[in-house]
Amino acid sequence: MNTLPGVWLDDLTRQEVAPRFDGKAVALIPVVSAGPPAPHLPLKTAGLIARALGQKLVERLAVVVAPVIDADSFSRQDTLRRVVGDRFDGLRALGAGRIAVLELSASPLGTLEVPGEGLGLRGGDRFADDEYITSCLMALDPRSVHMSLLPAGSRSQAFAGERGMAAEVDALVDALVAKWPDLA
């Protein structure tokens, strides 16, 4: 049985967390904001894509991925800032020495500050592109796409979503390894 280099935080017990952070593992806090959803896509779309990207990172690097924070569920930016800060502090209390915040949104949230030696990552620059998002969802959960509501002439396809997410993961891996070279 192969063990993955990374793990999801919520899959660990309290006893398993500290040893993960004793080494070189990076805690990763994904924060998503999809903006107003396209009529053919469910509300879970941004979170589903973030989890898929997180899983690909778990398969490639020593990361501990925290649960996804949905920025769209907060009506005030200061509340989002506090939630991200609390998550950051909670990970530090669990022993995380390396923390990255991954923002996946159509436009920069502008309120996410990464304290100290943390790393701010920006992904999802194509979240504003409905064809890209639709292609990603076609790859991840095709039954969730309401095909009857898909805009006429759409060129969305699962293969394009798979390729786009793979490129996104490659860029995130490069950024994490640039900050912490011993992750490679």
**What are the structural domain ranges in the chain?**
7-127+168-183
Q: What is the pLDDT along the chain (184 residues), one digit of tens a residue?
A: 458 899 999 999 989 998 999 878 999 999 998 777 788 999 888 899 999 999 999 999 999 999 999 988 888 888 888 899 899 999 999 999 999 999 888 666 665 677 777 888 887 667 667 888 899 999 999 999 999 999 888 999 999 999 999 999 999 999 999 999 999 8
Reference 133, options 109, 153, 110, 150; nearest CA is 150
The token duo for 3 is: 């063990």
| Contacting residues for 73 by C-beta, under 8 A, at least 6 apart | none
Single pTM value for the model: 0.91
Reference 183, options 104, 108, 88, 119; nearest CA is 119
Q: Does domain 7-127+168-183 have CATH number 3.40.50.10310?
A: yes
- The whole-number pLDDT of residue 161 equals 94
